[in-house]
Chains A and B, each alone.
Chain A
Amino acid sequence: MLARGSIARHYLAIAICAAIYLIVGLEVSNSYYQLIMTLVMIWAAMGLSWNMLSGYSGTISFGHAAFFGLGGYTMTIAFVQFGLTPWLGIPLGIGVGILAGVVIGLPTFRLRGHYFALSMLAYPLAMLNLFEWLGYQEVSLPMKREAAMWYAQFDDPRAYMALALILTVVCLVISLRVEYSRFGRSLLAIKQNEAAAEAAGIDAMRAKMQAMMISAAMAAAAGGLYAVVLLVVTPQTMFGMLVSAQALIVCLFGGVGVVWGPVIGAAVLVPLAELLNAELGNVLPGIQGVVYGVAIILIILVAPEGVYWALRDGFSRRRFRADPKPAAAEPAAETSIVSRDAAAAATAASPIVAAPTLQTMDATSAMTSCSRRLPSEPLLSLEGVSRAFGGLKAVDDVSLGVAEGRIHGIIGPNGAGKTTLFNIINGFLGADAGRITFAGHDLTGLKPHDVCRRGIGRTFQIVRSFARMSVLDNVKVAAQGGAADDAAARSLALEALAEVGLAEALIDAVPRNLTTKQLRLMELARALAPRPRLLLLDETLAGLGHDELEEVLDVIRKVNARGVTIVIIEHTMQAMVKLAHYFSVLDHGRLIASGHPAEVLSNATVIEAYLGRKWVERAQYPLP
C-alpha cells in the first residue's frame, strides 16, 4: 500500500485504543452493552481473519464460516463430551481450523477468481448439513458451578469482554507483523498481479497457503470464543452464510488490506445491527440483515475501498490544500523530468539521418564479436517443445538454443506462438511434449517462481505492474528473492532502477502516473532485480515512440553487455535488426527459420511465403 507509517506507531495506536476500550468496557454496567462490546471484538477478530487471506492476497473467500464453525464446534464438543476446558478446547479448535485450512486450501487454491469464491461458499454449507445430520442441532455448554474459572465461565460479563479484546489485539499484532514483512509484501504483489508476482520469484501457492493457515487460526479462535460467550452453538450460527458474510462485510466496510479496517467496520456495524435488532427485532425481524445488506451496497457504490481509505484520502487531500509547498513542488519535479526528456529527444533528433547506418554497423560488429566468443553449449535450449490448446497447435515441435551472452530475437506475426513459448519457458504453461534445459538443469515442470529463482527473468507484453505499489516497491518485491534482508532487497532494487535509468524522482511514483516507456523500464528493472542470467522480454519495444525506442534499446544493449543473455520477442523487424545477434522466426507455432540476421533475411522466399512481402519490405534491411 501507499506509505503506511512505521509499525511502531501502529503498536502505540493499538495500545492506546485497547486501553481506552478496556476502561470504557469496565465502566459500562449494562450487561447487554457489555455483550455488544464483546461481540464487536469477536467480529473484529473475524474480520482480521478474513483480511489476512482475502484482504492481503486478494483471493476472496465466502467460506470463512467453515473455520469459525469448526473452532466453535471443536471447543464445544470437546467440552461436552470429554469435559475439556475451553482454555485447551480453543487451542484445539485452532489446530482443527488450521488443518481444515490446509485441506481446503490445497485443492481450492488451484482455482481463481469466481471459481475460488464459489467453491469456498460450498464448504461451510456442506459442514452445516453434516453437523445437522450428526445431531448437533443445538449444543449447550454445561454450567460448571465449581471451578468455573477453569471452564472459562465468569459471573462478570466484563471478563468475556477482556478476553475478546485480548483476542483482537493478538490478531492485530499478527496482522501488522505480516503486513510489514516480506511475506506481506508478497501477498500484496499476488493480489495486484499474480502472474507478475510469480514471474518475479514469489511462490504464490505457498504464500496463499500460509495466509490461509493464519487466517483459519484466527477464525477458529474467534469461533471458539464466540461459543464460550454465547454458551450454545447451532449449525446456523456457526456455519451459516451470515457468518461468512459478516466477516467480509466488517472488513469491506472498514477498509480492505489494512489492519484497522476490520476494527472500524466491526465497531460501527456490530453495535448498529445489534441495537436495531434489540429495539426493532420483535417488530421487524431480519432488520439486522437488511442493515448489513444496505451497508455493503452503499460501501461498494460510494467508497469501494472502505471507510479507512476514504477517510485517509480525504485527510491527505485536505492536508495537501492546506500546505501549498508540496503541491507546488510536485509539478515542478514533473516538468523538470519532461524537459530532460525533451532535451534528450532534441539531441537524439538532430543526427537522425546518420543514426540508422551507425546502428546497423554497431549491430553488425556486435554480432561478429559475439559469434567469436560463443561457447559451444547453449545457456537455454529447447528440444521439440509443443503445446496445443484444443485443436490449435500454439507451439509445434520447436527446438532452439540460446547461446550465452547473446541477444536472441524471436520474430513472427501475431498468433505465431511467441508468447506461448515464453509462458512455457518460464513455467506459466506446461509443455505437452519436449524438454527445456537452462544452464544444464531441466526446467520442465518447474513453476514460475522456481524458474525465476534459477535465473530467468521476464517482462510481459502488456506491462504487469503492482498498481498500488510505488515503483521502488514494485522492483523490491522481485529483489527480495535474492536478498538476505529488507535493506539488501532495497539496494538491489535501487541498483536495478539505476541500471535501466529510471530517474530517482520517479521511484516513489505509482505506476498509474508513468508513461509507457517508464512502465516498460520499471518492468525491466523488476526482471533485473533478482540478478538473472537470462531475460525474456515480451515485446518490450511495443508502443514506444522513435526516440523512446532508442533509449530502451540502449538499456537492453547495456544489460546485455554486462553478460546477461536476452531473448526478445518482436513482431516488427525494424527494431530487431538493430538489436539482435541471432534470429528465430516462428509462424503458426513452428520454427521456420533461424540464424544470423543476414542469413535469415536472405532466406527471403521463406519469409515471404510465410509472412508476406510487406513484412520483408518493412524490415528495411540491406538484403544481400
Chain B
Amino acid sequence: MTDLQWQLIDFFQALAAGLMVGGTYGLMCLGLGIIFGVMRVVNFAQGDFMMLGMYIAYYLVTGFGVLAFLGPYVGPIVAATLAGPIVFVIGWLLHRYLISQVTGVRVISAEAEGHYAQIILTLGVALVLQNGGLLLFGSRPVSVQTPLSRESWEIGLVFLNQARTVAFVFAVGFALALYVFLSRSPLGKAIRAAADNPVAAAYVGVDVDRSYRIAFGLGVGITAVAGGLIASSQSFQPYIGFDFVIVMYAGVVLGGMGSILGSFWGGLTIGLVQQMSTLVLPYQLQNTAIFVVFLLIIFLRPHGMFGRVFERT
C-alpha cells in the first residue's frame, strides 16, 4: 500500500476513534451543560464526580462481583448506569446542604462576588473528593477490565474497539432519552424554565431551588454515567477529574452556553479534536490540543459574553 493509503487509513481510524470517544464525552458534557445552563455555576468538582462514577462502576464490576452474572457486554453498562443514581443522591445532598448556601435566586441578582463563592466552594469540594478518593481508593491506576476492552470490530481496514463502541451506542441512547425527558416531562420543563429565567420561573410557581437541586444531582449523575462508561476503556486514578474538567468546559462552551443539547455536540467535537490531533501531534500533547481549542473558542466567541454585561448599565 502507498503512503497516501496508509495516511487515509490513519485518518479514518482517528475519525472513528474520535466519534467513539466523543460520544461518551458528549454525555459527560451534557451533565455539565445541565448544571452550567441551569445554575450558571462553574462546578469544578464535575470531573471528580465523574471519577466517583468510574470507581463505582469499577467496584460494582470487580470488587463485589455482583454484576458478573450479567456477562461482559451488559455488566459494565449496568454498572455505569447504576453509578448515575448513586452520584445523583450524593450531588443532591451536596447541593442541599452546601452549594445552595451560595447559589439560588438570592445570589443571581448579586454581582460578581456571589459567583466567586460558588466557584471556590466547588473547588473545595473537588479537592476533598480527589484526595478523599486517594484515601479510599488508593493511588494505583485501575480500569474496568472486560473482555471487550481488548476486542475489536473491523470495518474495512478500520478497527473499532468493542468496549468503546458499546459505550458510544449507550451514551448516544442515554443522551436521547435525556433530551426527551427535558423537553417532554413536567420536571424537565421546570428545569428548563429555571435555566431560562429563574426569577420569572419563580413567579409562575416553579420551585427554583428544587429545580436547581435536581438539576445539580442530574448533572453530576449523568457525568458519572459517562465516567462509568469510559472506565472500561481507560485506566484511571483519583486525580483524573481535572483532566476532564477542561474537556467538559470546552465542550459546553463550544456547544453554546445554556444550550443543553448543544453541549452534547460540543463534547462530541472535543472527542474528535482530541483523537484527530494525534495525526499531527505527539500523543502526550492530546490534551494540549484541547486546551488550545478551548481558548480559541472562548476568544473567538466573545459575543453574548460581553454584550449582556454592558447592556445592564
User: What is A's interface to B at a CB cutoff of 8 Å?
Assistant: 58, 60, 62, 107, 110-115, 117-119, 121-123, 125-126, 129-130, 132-133, 193, 195, 241-242, 245, 248, 252, 284-290, 292-297, 300-301, 304, 389, 419-420, 422-423, 428-429, 460-462, 464, 538
CA distance A210 to B243 in the complex (A): 31
- Shortest CB distance B285–A (Å): 6
B245 on the A face (CB < 8 A): yes
The stretch that binds A, out of B50-58, B261-269, B299-307, is: B299-307
A114, A301, A420: the one contacting B119 at CB < 8 Å is A114
- B-side contacts of A122, CB under 8 Å: 246, 291, 294-295
CA distance A464 to B124 in the complex (A): 31
The stretch that binds A, out of B125-133, B145-153, B179-187, B196-204, is: B125-133
- Shortest CB distance B267–A (Å): 16
Instruction: List B residues 110-134 near A (Cβ within 8 Å).
Output: 111-113, 115-117, 119-121, 123-134
CA distance A117 to B118 in the complex (A): 12
CA distance A461 to B98 in the complex (A): 35
- B-side contacts of A129, CB under 8 Å: 284-285, 287-288, 291
Known: A58-B112, A115-B298, A297-B98. A304 touches B117 (CB 8 A): yes
- B-side contacts of A464, CB under 8 Å: 313
- Shortest CB distance A242–B (Å): 8
- Shortest CB distance A578–B (Å): 26
Q: In the complex, are the beta carbons of A428 and B310 less than 8 A apart?
A: yes
Q: In the complex, are the beta carbons of B112 and A113 less than 8 A apart?
A: yes
- B-side contacts of A126, CB under 8 Å: 287-288, 291-292
Size of interface on B: residues with Cβ below 8 Å to A: 55
State the main secondary structure of chain B at its contact with A. helix
Q: In the complex, are the beta carbons of B306 and A112 less than 8 A apart?
A: yes
Chain B residue, CB-CB nearest to A429? B310
Q: In the complex, are the beta carbons of A119 and B287 less than 8 A apart?
A: no
- B-side contacts of A132, CB under 8 Å: 284
CA distance A289 to B291 in the complex (A): 25
CA distance A171 to B262 in the complex (A): 45
- Shortest CB distance A460–B (Å): 5
- A-side contacts of B309, CB under 8 Å: 112, 195
Q: Which of B123, B284, B305, B307 has the most CB of A within 10 A?
A: B123
Q: In the complex, are the beta carbons of A114 and B311 less than 8 A apart?
A: no
CA distance A132 to B243 in the complex (A): 14
Sorted nearest first, the 10 A-B pairs with minimum C-beta distance are A289-B131, A293-B127, A286-B134, A296-B124, A286-B131, A293-B128, A297-B124, A133-B284, A126-B291, A122-B291
Q: In the complex, are the beta carbons of B120 and A290 less than 8 A apart?
A: no
- B-side contacts of A285, CB under 8 Å: 134-135, 138-139
Known: A112-B309, A286-B130, A290-B132. A252 touches B120 (CB 8 A): yes
- Shortest CB distance A115–B (Å): 6
Q: In the complex, are the beta carbons of A117 and B42 less than 8 A apart?
A: yes
B205 on the A face (CB < 8 A): no
CA distance A559 to B298 in the complex (A): 44
CA distance A304 to B114 in the complex (A): 10
Known: A113-B112, A117-B119. A293 touches B313 (CB 8 A): no
